[in-house]
Structure 1
Amino acid sequence: MTIAASQIFTIEEYLELEAHSLSKHEYHNGKIVEMSGGTVVHNQLGGKVITQLNNVIDAHDAPFQVYSSDMKIRIESNNRFVYPDAVVVTLNPEFYKKRRDIITNPLLIVEVSSNSSAAFDLGDKFNMYRSLSAFQEYLIVSQEKYHVSRFYRESADLWRTSDYYNLEDMIPLQSMGLEIPMLGIYKGVDLNP
């Protein structure tokens, strides 16, 4: 799909183009932005986070579902559709206009971050996510070093942050009442190939 940088699209046009596209695109208030392909490390970390989330949910028979980077999130306040690296919802996901590929009520969002994306992940993207009323927790997983940042909503405008650097650490998922091992995310991943 070839898109002129200055072209403005409606949501319906975007969704129709995206349904027939071979690559992923986000929607940013009328603009369609092609997503770059992920690195080997990015893909490994994203997959391992999803595995760890599913493992702990299954082990505790917890009422949550995990979605991969193929699931879009609708951020109405910013007129955006975005693809995070992983999303957790309750067993009652809410879908945008009954579409099964776009959710509106993420509980926990995970982004695998690089040096080039870290500022956006911590800044504008986090601000957009915070406008979602169901959103309670945010994990940013570094692909440069052993480091996971966790943000948890304590009240409407109060977020707590914790950072984890040791492979022996357990990362609490306060929104779910569970925890995942840092080692499970990074084991076998060569951060400096």
Structure 2
Amino acid sequence: MVIAQAKPIAKNISPESEASDGKVRVTLEEYRAIAETSEERYEYCNGEIIAMTGGSSAHSCIAVDITTFLNIAVRKTNFQIYNGDLRIWVPAFNHGTYADVLVINGEPEFNGDRTDEILNPLLIVEVLSPSTEGYDRGDKFRKYRSIPSFCEYLLVSQSEPYVEQYYQLDRQNNNQNNRDRWQLEICDRLDQAIHLQSLNLELPMSEIYRRIKF
């Protein structure tokens, strides 16, 4: 997912929103007004907003094909698949963000009376871009891990057949000391398949990269 610091639409923010350091800071209410009316998408991070720019053709193809495959594969289960339009809310960090693909188990849990901010992602997929790779692996993953329902994470390269899979160990154990124990698995061949622990499902690498020519 590609992000870049940028100013929001001026009519939706107060004149005091731009701080002396040049960053744009808004209230949560102002951010939600921007998100509802702007053609661009923005992350919200504890009062600061970050504009999200468009991705590449490969990025889009990969995200769509993962979404399509998973949606068909789980259609007779309680799992639900969402694309990048639904905002993930991370209460511990007062942070609203977007993933390329997310899966929930059962009914969605929304943030208060919002229907555009979800609280209970199970599996999150991010298609890596050069500008966000460090963020997706680092600070964003750290924030995601504070969500109690979140237990599996895929980082998908768009430049080569390469997927990093992180899944939570001792998921059934509610001991808080075990919540941050994660296993890393790597798939780097088109003839491999990723066993999604949270869905008990095989995701073939060939489906992820079905339309990509390397």
**Same fold (TM > 0.5):** yes
Give the match for residue 18 of structure 1.
Answer: 35
Q: Secondary structure at the match of 1:150?
A: strand
Question: Does 2:27 match 1:35?
Answer: no
Structure 1 residue identity aligned to 2:30? E
Provide, for residues 60-85 of structure 1, a one-character-per-residue CA deviation record: whole Å limited to 9, x for no partner: x2210000000100011111100110
- Distance across 1 between alignment mates of 2:135 and 2:31: 23
| CA positional deviation for 1:33 | 0.9
Deviation of the 1:14 alpha carbon: 0.7
Q: Separation in 1 of the partners of 2:148 and 2:164?
A: 21
CA RMSD of aligned residues (A): 1.3
Q: 1:171 aligns with which of 150, 174, 194?
A: 194
Instruction: Show the counterpart of 1:6.
Output: 23
- Distance in 2 of aligned mates of 1:167 and 1:134: 30
Instruction: Report the TM-score when normalising by structure 1.
Output: 0.93
Contact 2:86/2:98 (8 A) holds in 1: yes
Q: Which one is further off, 44-53 or 8-17?
A: 8-17
Q: What is the rounded CA distance, in whole Å, between the counterparts of 1:182 and 1:90 in structure 2?
A: 23
Give the aligned partner of residue 176 of structure 2.
none
Question: What residue number does 1:64 align with?
Answer: 79
Give the letter aligned to residue 17 of structure 1: I
Is the contact made by 1:56 and 1:180 (CA closer than 8 Å) also made in structure 2?
no
Q: 2:106 aligns with which of 88, 91, 95?
A: 91
Work out the CA distance in 2 between the residues paired with 1:101 and 1:112. Answer: 21
**Relative to 1, partners in 2 of residues 1:183 and 1:159: Cα closer, same or farther, differing over 3 Å?**
same
Bigger share in strand: 1
**1:73 corresponds to 2:88:** yes
List runs of 5+ in structure 1 lacking aligned partners.
Answer: none
Moved over 4 A (4+): none
Distance in 2 separating the partners of 1:190 and 1:85: 20
User: Identity rate of aligned residues, in percent?
Assistant: 39
Q: CA deviation at 1:126?
A: 0.6
Does 2:144 align with 1:129?
yes
Superposed CA deviations along residues 8-52 of structure 1, whole A, max 9, x for unmatched, are: 212111111211111111101101111011111111111011011
Q: 1:46 aligns with which of 35, 55, 63?
A: 63
| Count, aligned residues | 189
Give deviations 1:134-163, integer Å, cap 9, x for gaps.
Answer: 001000110111001100001312100100
